[in-house]
Amino acid sequence: MKKTTWIFIGFLAIAWLACNNNSVTSEQEETTPTTVVESNVTPKAEATALETDAETTETNSDADATGGGGTATHKESVEEKITTTVKKEVKDKTSKVVEDVKETSSKAKESSKKIVETVKETVTNTPVVEKPKEVVKETVEKVVSTPKPIIKTEIPPKPKEETKSAQEPEMSTEMPPTPTKPALSHSKWDGLLQKHVSSSGKVNYAGFKADKAQLQSYLEILSANTPESSWSKSKTMAYWINAYNAFTVKLIVDNYPVSSITDLEGGDPWKKRWISLGNQTYTLNQIEKDILLKKYGDARVHFAVNCAAKSCPALLNQAWTASNLESNFEKQSKAFINNSKFNEISPKSAKLSQLFNWYASDFGDVKTFINKYATTQLKSNAKIDFLEYDWKLNN
Cα–Cα distance measured from residue 199 to residue 328, given in angstroms and rounded to the nearest whole number? 13
Which of 156-170, 195-209, 254-268 shows the lowest mean pLDDT across its residues? 156-170
Lowest-confidence region among 25-29, 223-227, 292-296, 360-364:
25-29
Judgement on whether residues 131 and 191 belong to the same structural domain of the protein: no
Of 353, 344, 349, 337, the C-alpha closest to 381 is 349
Summarize the confidence of residues 45-67 as an average pLDDT.
45
Neighbours of 287 (CB within 10 A): 23
Judged by average pLDDT, the poorest of 24-33, 107-116, 133-142, 250-259 is 24-33
Q: What percent of the chain has pLDDT over 70?
A: 61
Residues 382 and 251 in one domain: yes
* Pair 129, 196 in one domain: no
Do 129 and 243 lie in a common domain? Answer: no
- Round to whole Å and give the CA distance between 284 and 274: 9
Answer whether residue 67 shows pLDDT above 60. Answer: no
**pLDDT of 381 over the 80 cut:** yes
Least confident of 11-15, 155-159, 331-335: 155-159
Q: Domain check: are 332 and 210 in the same one? A: yes
Name the domain count of the chain. 2
Same domain? 225 vs 338: yes
Q: How far is CA 384 from CA 270, 361, 365, 377, in A?
A: 28, 16, 12, 13
Distances (CA, A) of 43 to 38, 48, 49, 86, 331: 9, 9, 10, 11, 162
Range of the domain at 323: 187-386
For the segment 359-379, what is each residue's pLDDT rounded down to a tens digit? 999 999 999 999 999 999 999
Inside any domain, residue 181: no
Question: Ranked by mean pLDDT, which of 21-30, 103-112, 129-138, 244-253 comes out on top?
Answer: 244-253
